[in-house]
Amino acid sequence: MYVVMNELHVPDDAKETMQERFAKSVEHMKNTPGCIDFMFLEQNEENGSQVVFTKWESKQHYEDWVNSDAFKKAHQHSNGSEKKSAATGSTLKAFDVIHHF
């Protein structure tokens, strides 16, 4: 099992926009091969982070998704250019799961 957390640094006035954007991802992620869990998390404090948490059957499943046309499409405008994010930055952390119950 493999877990990826993408901590998004988002100004308070753009957080709702990010929530809406990721709400649209839920159904797609349910049908993504190897994706076990998808969560959008938010700290309840001023200037708190938003985190995209995904759990995968394997690292390979995650890499397959990142390299997929669906991933690329989700991250670009209809004209093919890369989508501008409301986030001012992000920190990606990935982990192999050692213990799980």
The pLDDT tens digits for 35-69 are 999 999 998 777 778 999 999 999 999 999 999 99
pLDDT at 73: 83
Give the list of residues 6+ apart from residue 98 with CB closer than 8 angstroms, or none. none
Distance CA 14, CA 67 (A): 27
**Residue 72 has what pLDDT?**
87
Q: By the 8 A CB rule, do 53 and 39 touch?
A: yes
| Per-residue pLDDT tens over the stretch 11-40 | 888 899 999 989 988 889 999 999 999 999
Q: What structural domains does the chain harbor? A: 2-96 (3.30.70.100)
pLDDT at 62: 98
pTM of the entire predicted model: 0.83
- CB atoms < 10 A from the CB of 41, how many? 13
Give the residues across from 96 on adjacent strands: 2
